[in-house]
Structure 1
Amino acid sequence: MDDDRSGNAEIRDFARAVAGALDGVWPDATAAATADLDELHAIAAQQGWFELGEAGAVDYLAAAEGVLGERGCSLPLADAYVAARLVPGLDLGTARPAVSLDPTAEALVPAGTTHVLELDAAGTTTRLAPVARAVPAPGLAVPSWHRVTLGAGEELEVGRTLIEECIAVLRLAAAARLGGASRRAHRLAVGHATTRRQFGQVIGAFGAVQQRVASGQIDVLAHDALVDEAARTATDGPAPLACALVARHARDHVVGVLAGAQHTLGAIGYFDEHEVAWLFRFVHAEVSRLRALESAVAPSHGLERFLLADDGALPPLDLGEDAELLRAEVRALLDAHRGDDGFDTEGVRAAAAAAGLFALSWPAEHGGRGASLEEQVVLNEEMKYAGGPVDRAMSATMLIGHSLLRHGSADQKQEFLPLLREGRIAFCLGYSEPDAGSDLASLSTRAVCDGDAWVIRGQKLWTTRAHTASHVWLAVRTDPEAHPRHAGITIFLVPMDTAGITVQQHRALSGEISCSVFYDDVRVPDAARVGEVNGGWRVITDALAAERVLMGGIAATLLGHFDALLRDLRAHRNGDPVILDRLGSVAARLQAARVLVVEATRAMDGDDARILGPVSAVLSGHLAEEFGRVALDLLGPEAALDGRYEAILRLAPMYVIGGGTNDIQRGIIARALGLPR
C-alpha cells in the first residue's frame, strides 16, 4: 500500500513540502526533547501553514497534521487554523493561540502559547485572552504542557455555524495527527518484524507477530480511510458527523496500534533512542486531549446525539454523478417491487435483468453496461442494504462471470453468460474439503483424465446452497505431484444433476443450509473445464478477489441493520450513557468498513486487492459480531426474539469463518507487508 494517504496530487505535494520543511528542525519523534520551538513556529509561518485557516483548506490541514503526527511534533497547527477562522486579523506570525473548550478548568496548553481561545461549544461566542503567566507542567507531553493564567480577554460573537465548523476541524485534525503517529509506529514495527532474528528465524515468521502486525495494519488502513474521506468531503466545510466519527475511531484504535507496534519492537522500542518511545508519549498525551475535547462538546455535539437525531444516519459515500444516478435507478427498481411483506423476488430479478444490472460491469460485446467500479459499488451496496433480494444472482455474476470472461471458452461464454445476465443460474462453490478449508491449496479431490473426459472422486464440505444449485464451480487436483502446492489444480463448472454427485444437508447456526457433497466417479466432459489444465489457481485467484469484495459487502447489509437500530433506539430512548457510548464505537467502525469496501472494490483488478480484500473481510466480520452483541445490549430481550438482530448475531460467525478464516486472512495481510511464511 502507498503510505502517502493524501487525496490528490496538490495535497500530496503539500504534505511532502511539510515533511521537507520539518527535516531540519523536527526530523522524527526523537527531536521532541531538543527541538527549537521558536524555529519550528518561524518555519510554519514562513511556509504559510498558518494561512490554511483563512483559506478554509481543511483537506490541506489534515494532510499537514498527518505529517506532524508521524514526527510526533506538537506544533498547534489546528489551534492556529481555528484562530484564523474565529479571529480574522490575528497575527499568527507572532501570536501562538491555543483553543480551550472548558473555561472552568485551568488551561493546559502547549509550550509557547501566547493566547487562549475559550470556545463555548453550546453557544455562539468565543473569548480571546492573552497568557499572563505560564508554568511548565512536566509529564507525558514533551515539550511540556504549561498551566496558564489568563489576562483580561475580549468576548467575540462568532455564530453557531462557525463554532460547529471549528469543533469539526479540531476533531479531524486530532484524528489525522494521531493517525500519522500510529501509522509511523506501525511502519517501524513492520520493518523490524521483517529483519529482527530470534531463535534462528525472522520474528515476522512467528504466528503471534503476524496476527498482531496484520491487526495493526487493518486499524491503520481503516483510520486512514476515515481521515481521507472526512478530509475529501470537507472542501465546502467539514462535515460535523464525519469528523465526529473519525475522532471516535482515533479514540478507540490508535493506542492499540501503538501498543501492538511496541510489543513487536520489544525492548528496542522501550528506550529513548527509538522513535516509538517518543511516539508513545505523543499519542497518549494527544488522546487525553481528544478525550477532553469530546467530553466538553458531548452535550451539544456528541456523536451519539448526531446519530439519534430524527434525521441521523451515517454520511453517504458520494461516488460520482454516474454512480449516484445508478443508485437512484436501483432504489426505484427495488421500490417498484417492494410490498408490505417484502420483495417480489422474481419481479426484482426480471427487472434487474432487463436493466442489465447483473452484467453491469461487463463489456458491451458480452451484453454488459461497461460500468465503472464506482457504479459496481453502488449496485452491490444498494442490493445488500435492501436485504439481498437477488443476492444469489449477484454473487454468481461476481464470482463466475468475472472468471468466465477471463478464462472461459467460447462455448462456455455462449452457454453461461446469458444465464448470468438473466440472473438465472443457481451455483455453489466447491472449494472446502475435510482437510482443506482456509488452506485451499491443499485440496485433494481428484480429477483423472480418461480420454476426452475427466473422472472426479472426492468430497467437499460447507458447500452453501448445494441442495438447490444447478451447477458447482468445482476446484479439483489434476496433478498430485505438482509443486508448489497450489499448482496442479483445475476448475470445472459441473451440473449438480451429474451422475455420482450426492448432497448431504446441514443446518448452520444462521439457519442457512450448507452441504457435504460427495463425488463418486463423477464423469464430466473436458468442455466443463474452465481455464488451462493445472491452471486453476489463477482462475481461483480471480474469483477469490471478487469473493472477498462480496464478503466485505457485509458493511452494506450492516448499514441497513444499523439504520433500523437507530430507528428502534429513538423509539426506546435508552439513556444509559455506557451502552450508548458503544453505539458510537460501532458507527465509527462501520463507516470505516464502508469506505474500505469502496477502496477494495476499486483495487479488485490491481495489486492492492491482495491486501484490501482481506482487510475488508476481517474488519467487516468482526464488526458483524460486535453489531449483534451491541444491538442486544441496547434493546434488551426484545432484540433476542425472532427478527433482524438475533438473525445477524447468529449469522455473524460465518463472516469470520467463510472465504478463509480471519486468522488466515490476517496471515495473508502479514505476507503482503513482507513478513515471511
Structure 2
Amino acid sequence: MSAPTMHTATPPDEVAAFSESVRGTLARHWPAPTASPDADLAKLWRAAAEQGWLELGVDGAIAAAVAAVRELGRVACPLPLMDTYVATLVFSEESELLNRIVSGEIRVIASLDEGEDQARHLDAADQATHLLTIPPAGGTARLRPLHDVRPTPGLAAPAWSTATLGDPEATSEVGPGEADEALVLLRLQLAVRALAAAERAHELAVAHAKERRQFGKVIGSFGAVQQRVAACQINVSAGGLLVTDAVRSLEQGSRERLLMVELAVEHARSVAPLVQLGAHHTLAAIGYFEEHDAPWLFRRVQGDVSRLQTLPRSAGDVADVLVEGTGSLPAADLGEVGETFRAEVRELFDQYADRLGKGNLATDKEMIRAVAERGWLGFAWPEELGGRNATLAEQVALSEETAYRRAPISKALGAVTLLGNSILKHGTKEQKDTFLPRIRRGELAFCLGYSEPEAGSDLASLRTRAVRDDAHWVINGQKLWTTGGHDSDWVWLAVRTDPDATPRHAGITVFLVPMDTPGITVQQHRALSGEISCTVFYDDVRVPDSMRVGEVNGGWKVITDALAGERITMGNIAAALHRQLDDLLTVIRADPQGAVGPRGSAKRSALGELAVGIQATRALVASATGATGATSGAMGARLNAPMAGVMGGELAERFGEAVLDILGPDAALSDAPGVPGGGTFEYGLRLSIMYVVGGGTNDIQRGLIARALGLPR
C-alpha cells in the first residue's frame, strides 16, 4: 500500500442497480435476519466472489461497497465485505495474492494488530481463511492464516470466534495515514451495518404501529408511540445523510474525509442502539420472540457497535481531532455557484466585522442597506420583481453565513422568507408593488400575528375573528407571543373568517395590517432570551379588503407557505450552533488539558457528542433545502426541515448545558472582559428554549413527522 487510497465516484443509478443485485443474491442465500443462526455464510461468500463484490476495492468503488454493507445490515449478515475491500488496497501491488482474494480462495477478515498470536471477538472467522492485521500507527500489515478457530457463543449471531494466528503469508508496509484510513473503513462497515439493521427494525415497528390495535385503537395513534417513532426516524435519516456525506468525501479525496467518516461512525454508534430499542418498544412482545426479525437485528446492532471499540483510530475520536487540530467541522459543499457566492458574503461581512456578533436580537440598518444594495434581499425572485433568480445554493449560503457570523440582518432576511415569498405567490399586483420593494430594501418592519391563548402549535384553532363590512373587515381578538410587535410597522395577521368551516383550517384568512391602526393595543413581555414579545389586542380594528393576502378562507395555504420558509430558516440553528462550537474550541485550545482533560475524558466525550449532533443537524438542513442534492431515502427533503428543527432545538439545549459542565460557572456569565466566548454561551442556553417551542413545539413536530410516516391521527 505505497500510495494514498484512491476511491472513484460511482453514479447514483449504478449504485442503486448494484444494491438491487445484492438484494437479489441475499434473497437466495441470506433472505432475512432470522437466517442468522443457520444460513450458509460460505455459500454467500462464494456468490459474492462470483458477483464481483470482492473486487470493489480494486475498482475503488466505495459507494457500491457501502451500499452492499447496508443491504447486509438489513438482513443481519456479517459478510466482511469491507475487510476484503481493505485487503485489496493493502496488497494492491501483489497481483497473484490479489487474484486469490477477489476469487474467494483466500477469505479475509481484518482487525487491529495487537502483536498477539491469538485474536478474539472475530466475526465470520469460522468461514474465513486469513486475518489481516493493521498496525494502528503504521508499519507492517500482515496476512496471517487462521488456525484452531473456536466459536465463543454470546450476543452475536453467528457467534464470534477466537483463533490462533499462523506465521504471516504476506506483508505490506503502510504509512500512518494509510493505516488510519484502513481502520476507518473497517469502522465505517460496522457503523453502516448497525445503522442499517436498526433502520430495518424501525421500519418493521412503523408497519406494526399501523396495524396493531390496543384499547380499541391502532397503537400508531397513541402520542407516546408517535413521539418515539418520529425520534427514531430523525436519527435514521440523519445517519443516512452523514454516511452519504462520508462516502462523497472519500470519493473526492477530501482533506477532511477521515473526520467526515468518523462523524458518521460516531452518530451511528450512538443512535443505532437507541433506534433498535425504540423499535422493540413499539413492537412489544411480538418483537421479543425469535420467530420475528427484531431479535436478530438486535444482536447485529449491539454486536457491531460493541466491536467498534476494537478498531480505534490513531488520530483519536472526533473530539480529539477537533481539540488537537486547528480546523472545524467540514462544510457542506454548495457547488461552484453556491461557494463562489459564499465567498462574496464573507467578504462583505468582513468589511463590517465590528458590527457582527450581536445575535438575532439586533438590527443594523447600515449592514441591511449594504446587503440590499447588492440585491441580496429577494434575490431569488424573478427579475421583473426585482430579483435575479438566485439559486437555492446561494440562498442557503447567505442564510448560513448570516447565522454563523451573527450578522444583525436576520429580520430583513425573515421578511423575505416569511412575507415576501408568500406575497409573491398569493398577493395582488398592488400588494406586490407596495411591499416587495420595501422588503428588497430591508425596510419592512413586521411581526407575526399567529398564536393565541387557545391556538399555539394548533394554529387551525385560532379564534381571532374578522367580519366583512362592505369594503372592510372588522377584527376582534387577541394574539400572544408576537415577537417584535412593539417596534413593528406591520403585522402578518391570521384570522378566522368562517367560524363554521370544516375542516377548521378552511375558514382562515391572512391580512397585512398596519400596527398603528386604531383598536390595536400592544402589551410587552420580556422573554428568557431577552427578546421582547407581545400580547396584542384587536378591538374593532377596521382593515380594508385590499390588505387581504390570498383568497377569503384561503389563508391556510398562505400560512403553510410562510411556515415552510420559517422552519427551514429555523434549521439555521445548525449554523448558529456551529459558531458556538467554534467559539468553544477557541477557548479549549488555549488550554486543552485544563479545559477538557486527556483523551478519553468525560468532557471530551461530551464535546464529541455535541460536534456529531451539530454535523447531523447540518446534514438534515442541507437536505431540507436541497442545495447539496442530498436526500435521506423515501422521506426526502419534505420531512428533513421539521426533523432538522427538532434535532437542532434539542441539541441547542444540550449544548448550553454541556458548555456549563465543560467550562464551569464562567460559561454562565454574560458579556464582560475575560468571559469565555464573550457571553455567547449563556445567551445560547437562554435562547435554546425558543428553538423547541417556536414555529410549533417539538412535540407537535414529531407528531407531524409520525403522521407523514403513515401513522394515524
1:410 deviation in Å?
Answer: 0.4
Q: Quick one: which of 106, 110, 124 aligns to 1:99?
A: 110
User: Which SS does the other structure have where 2:252 is aligned?
Assistant: coil
Q: Which residue of 1 aligns with 2:89?
A: 85
Q: Which residue of 2 aligns with 1:675?
A: 711
1:104 deviation in Å?
Answer: 5.1
| Cα deviations by residue, 1:82-117 (Å, 9 ceiling, x for unpaired) | 111112333221112122115156332123121112
Distance in 2, matches of 1:53 and 1:342, equals: 47
Q: Quick one: which of 225, 233, 237 aligns to 1:209?
A: 225
Q: Quick one: which of 57, 60, 63 aligns to 2:64?
A: 60
Distance in 1, matches of 2:67 and 2:652, equals: 31
Distance in 1, matches of 2:332 and 2:374, equals: 23
1:309 deviation in Å?
Answer: 2.8
Q: Which residue of 2 aligns with 1:69?
A: 73
1:603 deviation in Å?
Answer: 9.0
- Contact residue 571 and residue 645 of structure 2 kept, 8 A: yes
Distance in 1, matches of 2:511 and 2:472, equals: 12
Q: Quick one: which of 16, 22, 38 aligns to 1:18?
A: 22
Distance in 1, matches of 2:408 and 2:137, equals: 45
- Contact residue 400 and residue 575 of structure 2 kept, 8 A: yes
Q: Quick one: which of 39, 44, 48 aligns to 2:43?
A: 39
| Cα deviations by residue, 1:523-549 (Å, 9 ceiling, x for unpaired) | 110011000000000111101111110
Q: Which residue of 1 aligns with 2:386?
A: 367
1:608 deviation in Å?
Answer: 4.9
Distance in 2, matches of 1:208 and 1:586, equals: 26
Q: Which residue of 2 aligns with 1:274?
A: 292
1:340 deviation in Å?
Answer: 7.5
Of all paired residues, the percent bearing the same amino acid is 53
| Cα deviations by residue, 1:268-301 (Å, 9 ceiling, x for unpaired) | 11111111111001111101111332xx32x533
- Contact residue 61 and residue 173 of structure 1 kept, 8 A: no
Q: Which residue of 2 aligns with 1:162?
A: 178
- Contact residue 69 and residue 178 of structure 1 kept, 8 A: yes
User: Which SS does the other structure have where 1:339 is aligned?
Assistant: helix
Q: Which residue of 1 aligns with 2:192?
A: 176
Distance in 2, matches of 1:167 and 1:400, equals: 50
| Cα deviations by residue, 1:362-391 (Å, 9 ceiling, x for unpaired) | 122211121222221111111110113100
- Contact residue 214 and residue 666 of structure 1 kept, 8 A: yes
| Cα deviations by residue, 1:35-62 (Å, 9 ceiling, x for unpaired) | 1111110111111111111122222211
User: Which SS does the other structure have where 2:211 is aligned?
Assistant: coil
User: Which SS does the other structure have where 2:142 is aligned?
Assistant: strand
1:352 deviation in Å?
Answer: 1.1
Q: Which residue of 1 aligns with 2:323?
A: 308
Letter in 2 for 1:640: A
Determine if the alignment matches structure 1 residue 116 to structure 2 residue 131.
yes
| Cα deviations by residue, 1:324-357 (Å, 9 ceiling, x for unpaired) | 0010010001111122875893332122112211
- Of 166-175 and 583-592, more deviation after overlay is shown by 166-175
- Contact residue 82 and residue 186 of structure 2 kept, 8 A: yes
Distance in 2, matches of 1:631 and 1:75, equals: 42
1:616 deviation in Å?
Answer: 1.1
- Of 87-96 and 587-596, more deviation after overlay is shown by 87-96
- Contact residue 317 and residue 608 of structure 2 kept, 8 A: no
- Contact residue 339 and residue 397 of structure 2 kept, 8 A: yes
Q: Quick one: which of 635, 638, 641 aligns to 2:666?
A: 638
Q: Which residue of 1 aligns with 2:141?
A: 126
| Cα deviations by residue, 1:221-275 (Å, 9 ceiling, x for unpaired) | 1111111111122213471100111111111111000000011011111111111
Distance in 1, matches of 2:707 and 2:115, equals: 51
Q: Which residue of 1 aligns with 2:486?
A: 467
- Contact residue 319 and residue 611 of structure 2 kept, 8 A: no
Letter in 1 for 2:573: I
User: Which SS does the other structure have where 2:367 is aligned?
Assistant: helix
Q: Quick one: which of 463, 468, 472 aligns to 1:453?
A: 472
1:22 deviation in Å?
Answer: 1.0
Distance in 1, matches of 2:541 and 2:706, equals: 39
1:646 deviation in Å?
Answer: 0.4
- Contact residue 356 and residue 405 of structure 2 kept, 8 A: no
- Contact residue 74 and residue 200 of structure 2 kept, 8 A: yes
Determine if the alignment matches structure 1 residue 263 to structure 2 residue 263.
no
Distance in 2, matches of 1:49 and 1:385, equals: 43
- Contact residue 138 and residue 177 of structure 2 kept, 8 A: no
| Cα deviations by residue, 1:610-637 (Å, 9 ceiling, x for unpaired) | 5222111100100100111111111112
Q: TM-score, normalised by structure 1?
A: 0.96
- Contact residue 393 and residue 627 of structure 2 kept, 8 A: no
**1:315 to 1:479, Cα distance in 2 relative to 1, 3 A:** same
Q: Quick one: which of 327, 336, 339 aligns to 1:321?
A: 336
Residue ranges of structure 1 left out of the alignment (5+ in a row):
1-5
Q: Which residue of 1 aligns with 2:247?
A: 231
Determine if the alignment matches structure 1 residue 559 to structure 2 residue 559.
no
Distance in 1, matches of 2:181 and 2:203, equals: 32
- Contact residue 175 and residue 227 of structure 1 kept, 8 A: no
Residue ranges of structure 2 left out of the alignment (5+ in a row):
1-9, 671-678
Q: Which residue of 2 aligns with 1:3?
A: none
Letter in 1 for 2:174: V
- Contact residue 485 and residue 533 of structure 2 kept, 8 A: yes
**1:609 to 1:96, Cα distance in 2 relative to 1, 3 A:** closer
Q: Quick one: which of 654, 661, 664 aligns to 1:626?
A: 654
Determine if the alignment matches structure 1 residue 381 to structure 2 residue 404.
no
- Of 173-182 and 493-502, more deviation after overlay is shown by 173-182
- Of 499-508 and 369-378, more deviation after overlay is shown by 369-378
1:609 deviation in Å?
Answer: 5.4
Distance in 1, matches of 2:34 and 2:668, equals: 52
Letter in 1 for 2:303: A
Letter in 2 for 1:214: A
Letter in 2 for 1:212: R
Q: Quick one: which of 653, 660, 664 aligns to 2:700?
A: 664
Letter in 2 for 1:517: V
Determine if the alignment matches structure 1 residue 334 to structure 2 residue 341.
no
Distance in 2, matches of 1:405 and 1:477, equals: 23
- Of 371-380 and 38-47, more deviation after overlay is shown by 371-380
Distance in 2, matches of 1:402 and 1:348, equals: 22
Determine if the alignment matches structure 1 residue 50 to structure 2 residue 54.
yes
1:164 deviation in Å?
Answer: 2.4
Distance in 2, matches of 1:369 and 1:304, equals: 42
Distance in 1, matches of 2:29 and 2:171, equals: 36
Determine if the alignment matches structure 1 residue 653 to structure 2 residue 689.
yes
- Of 367-376 and 562-571, more deviation after overlay is shown by 367-376
Letter in 1 for 2:270: D
User: 1:594-633 maps to which residues of 2 (within 5 A)?
Assistant: 594-602=618-626, 608=636, 610-633=638-661
1:658 deviation in Å?
Answer: 0.6
Distance in 2, matches of 1:448 and 1:487, equals: 16
- Contact residue 355 and residue 407 of structure 2 kept, 8 A: no
Q: Which residue of 2 aligns with 1:287?
A: 305
Q: TM-score, normalised by structure 2?
A: 0.91
Letter in 2 for 1:415: T
**1:608 to 1:126, Cα distance in 2 relative to 1, 3 A:** closer
Distance in 2, matches of 1:52 and 1:148, equals: 27
Q: Which residue of 2 aligns with 1:440?
A: 459
- Contact residue 490 and residue 515 of structure 2 kept, 8 A: yes
Distance in 2, matches of 1:546 and 1:247, equals: 31
Distance in 1, matches of 2:433 and 2:415, equals: 16
